[in-house]
Structure 1
Amino acid sequence: MDLIALVDRIGEAPTSALFGLLTGIVFGVAAQQSRFCLRAATVEFARGMMQDKVAVWLLTFSTAVVWVQGAYLLGLFDSAEARMMAVPGSWSGAIIGGLMFGAGMVLARGCSGRLLVLAATGNLRSVVSGLIFAVVAQMSLTGWLAPMRDSLAAMWITEGGRNMNLLRSLHLPEGTGVVFGLATALLALELSRRNRIGWHRLVFASGAGFAVAMGYAFTYALSLIAFDPVQIESITFTGPSANTLMFFLDRGSILEFDIGLVPGVVIGSFLAALFAKELKFRGFDGPTPMRQAMIGAALMGFGGMLAGGCSIGAGVTGGSIFAGTAWLALFCMWVGGMSMDILLGGRGKPAQV
């Protein structure tokens, strides 16, 4: 069945949600098996190590860049029409929100995407933190925290009514993005070789990056034939977590890519853990970790919405199209995460996921 026939049969909105579901399943399986997590990578780096967690993050990031930029060169996707690029970006939001998100993910012991993956495998700590993250994200989007977010975001925005494309702003030739992605992938593979990371984990780390390109290609293809405007987007968890929460609370909510994405990640992560026999109920180790996780989840909810995306939404999905504010937000997430780990006295300890 071709795409037009599918849309005619089930409708545009269900098709968009179906694409989100498929993208989420692929990402969920890949992220669960690869242990992909920005928090783990930043903590490892802050502790003076360049081991498996940094290697996995770099491989996922570079794979996303190569596939997304390759799709652009082949005409399968237009990055200029992506939601993150087609609207003004906030430099101030990227800085403040990125720092908050980075600090929060260390306190919560996982970035937003990792919390969702862990929750699907029976981690009750991640369930609680994920719910707090989604509620605060919704409050930051349309609730009591929205005025504060708007004020901070408006302090310094990009010019021209659009986000900045770093490649075009630097007048770099076509194909530079692919070359950069391949160079980063080589670095990741060298780190993987030094740390003796098995091919199984490397394949799934690449799969997580490929899922980002899937989301862009799906939504772009749908936008070309849909009657109503379709947002060209891919994997992110701040907005989708809030939207998915409201979908189940408000009967007036409609299907969209976001609504399929979050359940897809849960399904994919659960199935991957089930077949790998890694399902296990886990809770908080005590009151202090619980307080830290709750505070961290709240920081991520507000910070991610302010920064224009989470560690995956801005850090990988936005980074793969070279959106200026996404790269700044990613840098600030690294700084925020490393700084919080140092404040918590983590140096010298193993970087656990």
Structure 2
Amino acid sequence: MAVELATLLERYGESAVLASGGAVIGLLFGFFAQRSRFCLRAATIEFWHGKFAEKLSVWLLAFATAVLGVQGLILLGQLDVSGARQLANRGSLSGALAGGVFFGVGMIMTRGCASRLLVLSANGNLRALLSGLVFAVTAQAALAGALAPLRLAISSWWTVEGGPSRSLLSLIGAGPWDGLVAGLVWLAVAIFFSQRTGNRLWMWIGGIGTGLTIALAWWFTYAVSRASFAAEAVQIQGMTFSGPSAEWLMRVLSTESPVAGFDFGMLPGVFLGSFLGALWGRELKVEGFKDGYSMARYIVGAMCMGFGAMLAGGCAVGAGMTGGSIFALTAWLTLGGMWLGAGVMEKLIGEPVQSIQPPAQEAPVVMPVAP
């Protein structure tokens, strides 16, 4: 495999290979996430209502699979994440926790996290499309715009050095084998909760497939970095949606575009994969807002998510799944903040537990697309 990658890199260059791989992995993620209704927001609502059923099972299946896949690759010598930014760079514990809370609040208000908004946009959901655009604008403002000073101030409150201090496994004196065991425990929990559901086939296929794409992204970027003649120029990374969303926004608004890489292909790939998933399930339909209050709620929620994701260094997938699978301390703090923020916000503006479902199946303003 290394020989084939080296040949492709020599012929097409790092940017093209990374973008192509990102597109393929993104397509798989979008398809599996769409078919399984993968959604952290729905999982948190089930959890806080004590209704441990399908949505929570799907998320746990995906998370457990990501952990097992990543830790298994590390044990097999096929992956080394020590150079990943979530572990190698200086991090912010205050930013991780506060950002997670902001993000959790926002995803309740928008009825979906950043990845879910992109998935739903490809299905014709205009609420998700507008929220995704607001999310990207806010993320860019937090990265290098008007909100950057506030982000930097919060991030400076409580920091941690890169290296072992950012690895949850290192801090407790554990290693990849312990991480693998933790993944097995999460998988057992997912299987236990899944018994409360109707055991829908796509819940299993989609949940496991979604988790595998997280591990695949880590492996692919690492393999490219090993095969590249300029290994130091290739960033080892997994899937995330906050940074790439801001990057794509700047590509649209500015003539000085960032160098194309994994993220460049990933976002369009997710969009296409979700579109194909909706086409497969005959779920393509145009949906809008039912009133002004709903629109305002979605916009404010998207702003909270955009700022929270940049403050925390990742979204529900980037921190919760990607960072969580390598046991980055800040990622686990962010994930905890997301569940906490979502629980508090759901109690404030909550809905009956019977209505917990992905936004793609909401009732308001539905206009079927002509065949």
Question: TM bucket by the smaller chain?
Answer: over 0.9
2:86–2:166 contact (8 Å) kept in structure 1: no
Q: Measure, in 2, the Cα distance between the counterparts of 1:97 and 1:47.
A: 23
Q: Which amino acid aligns with 2:256?
A: G
Change (3 A) 1:247 1:152: same
User: Residue in 2 aligned with 1:40?
Assistant: 42
Deviation per CA, 1:176-212, whole angstroms, max 9, x where unpaired? 1111111111111121122122222211111000000
Q: Which residue of 237, 240, 247 corresponds with 1:236?
A: 240
In structure 2, distance between residues paired with 1:26 and 1:292? 31
Matched-pair contact (CA < 8 Å) for 1:219–1:232: yes
- Decide whether the 8 Å contact of 2:104 with 2:340 is kept in 1: yes
- What is the rounded CA distance, in whole Å, between the counterparts of 1:83 and 1:257 in structure 2? 15
Q: Unmatched 5+ residue regions in structure 2?
A: 359-371
**Superposed displacement of residue 318, structure 1:** 0.3
TM-score by length of 1: 0.97
Distance of 2:31 and 2:353 partners within structure 1: 31
Following superposition of structure 1 onto structure 2, how do residues 13-32 of structure 1 map, counting pairs within 5 Å?
13-32=15-34
Structure 1 range deviating more: 38-47 or 320-329: 38-47
Q: 1:225 Cα deviation (Å)? A: 2.4
Q: Does 1:75 align with 2:77?
A: yes
Instruction: Quote how far apart the aligned CAs of 1:162 are.
Output: 6.8
Q: CA RMSD in A?
A: 1.4
Q: What is the distance in 2 between the residues matched to 1:348 and 1:58?
A: 19
Cα distance change, pair 160–68 in 1 and its aligned pair in 2 (3 A): closer
Equivalent residue in structure 1 for 2:336, among 331, 344, 348 = 331
Distance in 2 between residues matched to 1:31 and 1:198, nearest whole Å: 14
Pairing partner for 1:313 from 312, 318, 338: 318
Contact 1:84 1:163 in 2 (8 A): no
Answer yes or no: is 1:302 the counterpart of 2:307.
yes
> Which amino acid in 2 is paired with 1:81?
G
Out of 75, 79, 90, the position equivalent to 1:88 is 90
Indicate if the aligned counterparts of 1:235 and 1:317 stay in contact, CA closer than 8 A: yes
TM-score, structure 2 normalization: 0.92
Partner of 2:222: 220
Contact kept, 8 Å, 1:47 with 1:346, in 2: the verdict is: no
Q: 2:279 aligns with which of 256, 271, 274?
A: 274
Looking at structure 2, the residues matched to 38 and 163 of structure 1 have their Cα atoms a distance apart, in angstroms, of: 27
Find the counterpart in structure 2 of residue 158 from structure 1. 160
Q: Which stretches of structure 1, 4 residues or more, deviate above 4 A after TM superposition? A: 160-163
Residue 281 of structure 1 aligns to a residue whose secondary structure is strand
Select 1:106's aligned residue among 86, 105, 108.
108
Give distance in 1, aligned partners of 2:246 and 2:78: 29
- What amino acid maps onto 1:246 in structure 2? M
- The residue identity in structure 2 corresponding to 1:324 is L
SS at match of 2:151: helix
One-letter code of the match for 1:53?
K
Overall identity of the aligned pairs, in %: 47
- 1:86–1:163: 8 Å Cα contact kept in structure 2? no
Structure 2 Cα separation of the partners of residues 239 and 162 of structure 1: 25
Superposition deviation, residue 278 in structure 1: 0.9
Secondary structure in structure 2 of the residue aligned to 1:315 = helix
SS of 1:175's partner is helix
Given that 1:163 and 1:325 are in contact with CA atoms closer than 8 Å, whether structure 2 keeps it comes out as no
State the partner residue of 1:2. 4
Question: 1:247 touches 1:259 (CA, 8 Å); kept in 2?
Answer: no
Distance 1:238 1:160, change over 3 A: closer
CA shift for structure 1 position 163: 5.5
Shift of 1:333: 0.2
Letter in 1 for 2:292: P
Deviation string 1:120-170 (CA, Å, 9 cap, x unpaired) is 110000000000000100111111111111111111111356761111110
The number of residues matched between the two structures is 353
Kept in 1: contact 2:89–2:161 (CA 8 A) = no
Q: 1:352 to 1:160 in 2, by over 3 A?
A: closer
Q: Which residue does the alignment assign to 1:260? A: 265
Moved more, 244-253 or 334-343: 244-253
The yes-or-no answer on 1:194 pairing with 2:201 is no
Match of 2:297 in 1: 292
Equivalence map 1:131-210=2 (5 Å)? 131-159=133-161, 164-210=166-212
1:49 corresponds in structure 2 to 51
Q: 2:14 — aligned with what? A: 12
Q: What letter is aligned with 2:328?
A: A
**Shift in Å at residue 4 of structure 1?**
0.9
The amino acid across from 1:106 in the alignment is I
Structure 2 counterpart SS, 1:194: coil
1:48 is displaced (CA, Å) by: 2.2
Give the direction of change, closer, same or farther, for the CA distance of 1:260–1:110 in structure 2 (3 Å limit): same
Measured at CA, do residues 230 and 95 of structure 1 come closer, stay the same or move farther in structure 2, by a change above 3 Å?
A: same
